[in-house]
């Protein structure tokens, strides 16, 4: 199928999937629109296809309208699409937000369009890197069947691994991504702060953190179980070590983070009831 695509919003995600669709010859990229025309030009250059559009209402008809803007702009873009006179009946309107489901696009159904949402569980830091590392990315998908039947082979063609979700629970999948990706970075910052306070030079500290995190992820890949991958003082039940850690933390926020994560971690262990209670008591900072 020679699908035609417009891309509305060529940020890191929009650039990545646009280029992947182009280099895999899966669709014809037509109009590329951003609020700033210069960004539309840069987006088309990176993707290697498509025509930069300065006027939103000049976007051509397309089989698929991709909305890859920040989340807060999706509803506005949907409203703007509703004002267009050349929306193709039977076309697909899709957004790639993890926070919203396809219901935010429901106004488009009155024009005979089908709606869907696909959220790639991938950290889009740099489009060049993301293009090279995208294969194997898991993507949640939900929406009209007529839309998902077209979109699934399109995304599978760029290396996505798709899984259907209940749109009413979509926010939870996004929360999972925040825990697994965003908060991993937050934890690395906390670890860096501790190492630097202990006198370790930043470059060495980051190498230590990266090495440890990589080995932990490898353990998760091998065991496919957080409980089976857990190591450290909580897993061993080393109450003295945990008390020493809390005493060493002078920053109140860090101490609170350590204690809250400790409470959540205790619940992953198989200690006796008495040991569990003693551990939970240590992490109660009240």
Phi, psi of 66 (to 5 degrees): -90, 120
Euclidean distance between CA atoms 49 and 192, whole angstroms: 42
Give the start-to-end residue ranges of the domains of the chain.
3-165, 168-229, 230-286
Whether pLDDT at 1 is above 70: no
SS3 92: strand
Mean pLDDT of 70-78: 97
Check residue 92 and give its pLDDT.
Answer: 98
DSSP 11: S
Contact 262, 234 (CB under 8 A): yes
Check residue 39 and give its pLDDT.
Answer: 97
Euclidean distance between CA atoms 81 and 75, whole angstroms: 10
Euclidean distance between CA atoms 229 and 235, whole angstroms: 10
Contact 12, 72 (CB under 8 A): no
Check residue 272 and give its pLDDT.
Answer: 96
Whether pLDDT at 259 is above 60: yes
Check residue 266 and give its pLDDT.
Answer: 97
Check residue 84 and give its pLDDT.
Answer: 86
Check residue 177 and give its pLDDT.
Answer: 96
Tokens standing for residue 265: 């971690």
Mean pLDDT of 256-263: 98
Check residue 286 and give its pLDDT.
Answer: 85
Burial bucket for residue 97 (CB in 10 Å: 0-12, 13-18, 19+)? buried
The whole-chain average pLDDT of the chain stands at: 97
pLDDT in tens, 172-185: 999 999 999 999 99
pLDDT in tens, 49-64: 999 999 999 999 999 9
Which residues 6+ apart lie within 8 Å of 130 measured at CB?
A: 12, 16, 122, 123, 124
Euclidean distance between CA atoms 94 and 134, whole angstroms: 19
Check residue 171 and give its pLDDT.
Answer: 94
pLDDT in tens, 269-285: 999 999 999 999 999 99
Check residue 183 and give its pLDDT.
Answer: 98
Mean pLDDT of 127-148: 98
Check residue 71 and give its pLDDT.
Answer: 96
Instruction: Check residue 109 and give left, alpha or beta (phi > 0: left; psi -120 to 50: alpha).
Output: alpha
Tokens standing for residue 1: 């199928």
Q: Does the pTM of the predicted model rise above 0.85?
A: yes
Check residue 85 and give its pLDDT.
Answer: 81
How many Cβ atoms from other residues are within 10 Å of residue 65's Cβ?
A: 29
Whether pLDDT at 107 is above 90: yes
CATH superfamily of 3-165: NAD(P)-binding Rossmann-like Domain (3.40.50.720)
How far is residue 211 CA from its own chain's centroid? 23
Euclidean distance between CA atoms 198 and 206, whole angstroms: 14
């Amino acid at each position: 199928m020679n699908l035609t695509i417009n891309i509305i919003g060529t940020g890191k995600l929009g650039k990545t999937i646009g280029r992947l669709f182009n280099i895999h010859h899966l669709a014809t990229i037509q109009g590329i629109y951003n609020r700033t025309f210069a960004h539309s030009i840069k987006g088309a250059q990176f993707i290697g296809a498509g025509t930069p559009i300065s006027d939103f209402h000049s976007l051509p008809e397309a089989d698929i309208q991709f909305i890859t803007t920040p989340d807060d702009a999706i509803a506005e873009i949907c409203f703007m699409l509703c004002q267009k006179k050349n929306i193709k009946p039977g076309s697909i309107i899709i957004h790639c937000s993890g926070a919203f489901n396809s219901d935010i696009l429901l106004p488009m159904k009155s024009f005979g369009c089908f709606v869907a949402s696909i959220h790639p569980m991938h950290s889009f830091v740099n489009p060049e890197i993301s293009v090279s590392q995208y294969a194997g990315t898991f993507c949640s998908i939900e929406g009209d069947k007529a839309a998902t039947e077209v979109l699934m082979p399109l995304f599978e063609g760029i290396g996505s691994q798709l899984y259907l979700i209940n749109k009413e629970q979509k926010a939870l999948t996004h929360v999972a991504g925040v825990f697994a990706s965003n908060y991993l970075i937050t934890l690395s910052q906390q670890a860096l702060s501790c190492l630097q306070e202990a006198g370790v030079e930043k470059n060495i500290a980051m190498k230590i953190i990266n090495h440890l995190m990589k080995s932990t992820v490898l353990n998760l890949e091998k065991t496919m179980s957080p409980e089976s991958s857990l190591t450290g003082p909580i897993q061993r039940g080393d109450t003295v070590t945990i008390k020493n850690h809390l005493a060493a933390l002078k920053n109140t926020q860090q101490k609170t983070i350590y204690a809250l994560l400790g409470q959540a971690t205790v619940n992953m262990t198989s200690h006796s009831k008495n040991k569990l209670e003693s551990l939970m008591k240590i992490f109660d900072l009240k």
